[in-house]
């Protein structure tokens, strides 16, 4: 199985900060990496697919990069509504998709 490791597990930041979350795969997954945002009591929402493609309707302050084993999600200027938990997911190992353990972004 491909293991996905996110860092940090939790992060404290302020409105307006630039924030980067890292996701590392246990083996190369090319660009088959997706990012989700989950707020308490809500279903996850897709933000970025295939490492760097912003889903339509997602604010441009979100961006993704990386390939192979190392990936990043960057929020350029944190807004109050961005405080949530973020998950990466590999979709390289079909059909055994795995998620990272999550990064909780707190005020």
Partner 1 sequence: EVQLVQSGAELKKPGESLRISCTGSGYSFTTYWINWVRQMPGKGLEWMGRIDPSNSYTNYSPSFQGHVTISVDKSLNTAYLQWSSLKASDTAMYYCARRMMGGNDAFDIWGQGTMVTVSS
Indicate the length of the chain as a whole number: 107
Nearest CA to 91 among 7, 10, 32? 32
Residue 80, classed as helix, strand or coil, is helix
Please, what is the minimum distance in Å from the beta carbon of residue 6 to partner 1? Answer: 9
Pick one of 10, 55, 59, 70: the residue that binds partner 1 (CB under 8 A): 55
**Does 62 engage in binding with partner 1 (CB under 8 A)?**
no
**Does 46 engage in binding with partner 1 (CB under 8 A)?**
yes
**Does 91 engage in binding with partner 1 (CB under 8 A)?**
yes
- Residues 105 and 84: beta-carbon distance below 8 Å: yes
Alpha-carbon span 58 to 75, nearest angstrom: 11
**Does 10 engage in binding with partner 1 (CB under 8 A)?**
no
**Does 97 engage in binding with partner 1 (CB under 8 A)?**
yes
Closer to partner 1 by Cβ: residue 66 or 102: 102
Residue 69, classed as helix, strand or coil, is coil
Query: Taking the CB of residue 94, how many other CB atoms lie within 10 A of it?
Result: 8
Residues that bind partner 1 (CB under 8 A): 31-32, 34, 36, 38, 43-46, 49-50, 53, 55, 87, 89, 91, 94-102
């Amino acid at each position: 199985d491909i293991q996905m490791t996110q860092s940090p597990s939790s992060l404290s930041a302020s409105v307006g900060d630039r924030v980067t979350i890292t996701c590392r795969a246990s083996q190369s997954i090319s660009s088959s990496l997706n990012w989700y945002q989950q707020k308490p009591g809500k279903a996850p929402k897709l933000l970025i697919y295939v490492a760097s493609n912003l889903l339509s309707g997602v604010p441009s302050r979100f961006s993704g990069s990386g390939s192979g084993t190392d990936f990043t999600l960057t929020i350029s200027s944190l807004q109050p509504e961005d405080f949530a938990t973020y998950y990466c997911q590999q979709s390289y190992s079909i059909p055994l998709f795995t998620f990272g353990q999550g990064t909780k972004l707190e005020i």
